[in-house]
Amino acid sequence: MSSQSQAAPAVLGVGILGAGPVTQAIHLPSLSRLQDILEVRHIMDVDPAVAESVANRVGAAFSTSLDELLADPSVDVVAICSPHQFHAAQVIAACRAGKKAVLCEKPFAMSGDEAASISAVSAETRVPIIVGAMHTFDPGWLAAEAAWGDLPEQVHTIRSSIVLPLNPRFEDFASEIVGRTPMPARDNTDPEVIKALLTGGVMGLAIHDLPLVRRFTSDFAAVEVLHAEIVKPFGYVISLRAGHVTIELRAAMNSTWEPSWVLEAIGDDTSLSIDFTPSYVHAGSAIARIMTSRTTTVLGPFGHNGYEGEWRKLAEVARGIGTAPSADTLIHDLEFALAIAEAATARVDDQATTRQEATV
């Protein structure tokens, strides 16, 4: 046994690109629970008032410039929480700036080409990247993964069912939001609006669960969307097939107070049902149930959720004591989501054509 005392690892400095509601209501509260390992040191937002307000909450520097944040030597790890279209360029810039690790909100890119570019830069710079697919870091999910045995080989049906209040309800429980942007009015009968809503539903909501769905879907590249429509005011019903696996995606966001977020993976003899806690509030982990005809094994709840889990993981990989998901995993997760979004929007045109033919 060594006689040398073990020094506590240095706290890692965090820089955050984008200071909107997700940063304010999810990441800052998560980081406030992890002050022994992570410290927010720089907040960047294109709105200087928002950047200053949010930075002042945590005693961090602020700026409106990506370059300024990346040049800040106190920033060890970078979290990218900007609008989706900026993710790829900012991930690449953070890698090239020589940071220790990058956390990018999902989706980390909006095309396969962008994903490949990120992968190449990550490999070249050796900067690990974690995508903020928080459910994959949820202790309830991880406990299920360790316990489910041969479930992935026998799963033939997957259901993701999400019912949530609109985000401000939980944002306001978690923080005091500045700079909130109101939802724009839209015509939900316009096919282009419907397509945009479906794309937004897949890339903004379903994407939380799609990496988990893919865990049970070896033929994920063979995805075929069979039916897709929107739910008012916001949500979707999407039926798809990937190889021999039936995948049903449901979501409804409305003015309910009761959230429900359930993922089911079902085989002939065994199934997994996992209840996730709502985003924004720190209500602990998911509870997983692994069921057979005779038994139900309950795993969880554990004391923290997947957002805290992803920050813990980021700190580990930045210190070189943990392994980030492989580039292939991240790229395949993204390709899976993009393929579903693209095929779902194509169904809108197919269904409109079918309706027109039926009325002729």
Positions that interact with another protein (CB under 8 A): 156-157, 159, 161, 163, 226-227, 229, 231-233, 235, 237, 239, 241, 244, 246, 248, 250, 252, 254-258, 266-271, 291-293
Q: Whose Cβ is closer to another protein: residue 218's or residue 239's? A: 239
Taking the complex as a whole, the smallest distance from the CB of residue 110 to another protein amounts, in Å, to 27
Taking the complex as a whole, the smallest distance from the CB of residue 304 to another protein amounts, in Å, to 27
Q: Are strands 287-291 and 296-299 parallel, antiparallel or unpaired?
A: antiparallel
Helix (H) / strand (E) containing 191:
helix 191-204
Pairwise CA distance, residues 17 & 223, whole Å: 33
Taking the complex as a whole, the smallest distance from the CB of residue 244 to another protein amounts, in Å, to 7
For residue 153, give every residue at least 6 positions away whose Cβ sits within 8 Å of its Cβ, in sequence order, or none: none
List Cα–Cα distances, 121 to 124, 131, 249, 337, in angstroms: 5, 15, 33, 22
Q: Which long-range contacts (CB under 8 A, 24 or more apart) does 112-116 make?
A: 112/331, 112/334, 112/335, 112/338, 114/88, 115/88, 115/330, 115/331, 115/334, 115/335, 116/331
Taking the complex as a whole, the smallest distance from the CB of residue 264 to another protein amounts, in Å, to 9
Among 310, 330, 342, residue whose Cα is nearest residue 38: 310
Taking the complex as a whole, the smallest distance from the CB of residue 135 to another protein amounts, in Å, to 20
Q: Whose Cβ is closer to another protein: residue 233's or residue 284's? A: 233
SS3 229: strand
DSSP 23: I
Q: Whose Cβ is closer to another protein: residue 241's or residue 332's? A: 241
Phi, psi of 251, rounded to the nearest 5 degrees = -155, 145
Q: Whose Cβ is closer to another protein: residue 96's or residue 156's? A: 156
Among 315, 302, 273, residue whose Cα is nearest residue 130: 315
Q: Whose Cβ is closer to another protein: residue 112's or residue 243's? A: 243
Taking the complex as a whole, the smallest distance from the CB of residue 157 to another protein amounts, in Å, to 5
Are the CB atoms for 223 and 242 separated by under 8 Å?
Answer: yes
Taking the complex as a whole, the smallest distance from the CB of residue 302 to another protein amounts, in Å, to 24
Taking the complex as a whole, the smallest distance from the CB of residue 125 to another protein amounts, in Å, to 44
H helices, E strands: number in the chain: 13, 14
CA 179 to chain centre: 22
Torsion on CA atoms 92, 99, 178, 37, rounded to nearest 10: 140
Taking the complex as a whole, the smallest distance from the CB of residue 99 to another protein amounts, in Å, to 43
> In the Cβ-directed half-sphere of 294, how many Cα atoms lie within 13 Å?
0
DSSP 110: S
Taking the complex as a whole, the smallest distance from the CB of residue 159 to another protein amounts, in Å, to 7
End-to-end C-alpha distance for the chain, whole angstroms? 84
